[in-house]
Amino acid sequence: MRSRFRSDRRLTVRMTVTMFLLGLLYVAFVAALVVLLKSWVLVVVVAAGMLGAQYWFSDRIALFAMRGRVVGREEYPELHAVVDRLCALADMPKPVVAVSEMDMPNAFATGRNPDNAVVCVTTGLLRRLEPAELEGVLAHELSHVAHKDVAVITIASFLGVIAGLIVRFAFYSQLFGGGRRDQNTAVVFAAVMGVSAAVYAISFLLIRALSRYRELAADRAAALLTGRPSALASALTKVSGDIARIPSKDLRTAQAFNAFYFTPALGAEPGVARIFSTHPSLEQRLDQLGRISGELGEAATPGRAG
């Protein structure tokens, strides 16, 4: 069943191209490991096992990592009411609703498809946003589920994760056990580390490019579904400003999951990190919402966003 979220052909094309390129990279990566390690059974079993685990259990992994827990209607009736209303409006299955006990105002969606999805908000977000702003943020997250880009970004991130783990494993193996290995083994480990680092870098760039566009697509879809782009713009401004004031040490844990968040966990002075950000700039997002507001004639009905 198709939802009423506005379809985005450019997003679909970008997801298809990204998955195709990452698929080629994945095959080349596995082939290189098989040649270097001379054990195709070990490589294939480990790679397939990790991919399967990430695909089937991505929602649980994300909730655990971001300290989220599933909440019932009796505990958060207003939150469930907003999700119910948006799902009815979008004609899509209701996802599992979760809350993370974090002061950082944010939200994320995860899951392999619309029937197995989770939408999670932080307590910091619930405390800061007005009802219309919260609706805009949740519509943004639900659009990720409806467009299936949350599943794509989950699968796409797998290759970078496994490559990064291999780089770390190879590094620490050489660091702490180099004296016990012969020269040939050291060369193989160096080659594995080099291939893994290259794969990680390429997948990193591909995922960032897709992630930035999908955030703009989600903003656009949410604004058109709710008819209140100004409410989403207000939420973006408020959340981005509050995150910038949170101490950097409190953001470091969250930064590993920036690709899933409504807004990235960046400090007041992100510096070079902005170039590699998973999200477009706040200015880009607000400019787009301003254009949509003009197209919808929202300025003519100021009471609508309240």
Q: Is 133 a catalytic residue?
A: no
Q: Is 144 annotated as a binding residue?
A: yes
Residue with tokens 């519509």: 139
Tokens 């290995």 locate to 181
What does the DSSP assignment read for 184-203? HHHHHHHHHHHHHHHHHHHH
Residue type present at position 293? S
Of 133, 135, 141, 298, the catalytic one is 141
Question: Based on the number of CB atoms within 10 Å of its own CB, is 236 exposed (0-12), middle (13-18) or buried (19 or more)?
Answer: buried
> Is 147 annotated as ligand-binding?
no
The reply to whether 279 sits in an annotated binding site is no
| Token couple for 94 | 């209701």
Residues in the chain: 306
Would you say 81 and 126 are in contact if contact means Cβ atoms under 8 Å apart?
A: no
Parallel, antiparallel, or unpaired for β 96-100 and 116-122? parallel
- Residues in the annotated binding site for Zn(2+): 140, 144, 215
Residues belonging to the active site: 141
- Residues in the annotated binding site: 140, 144, 215
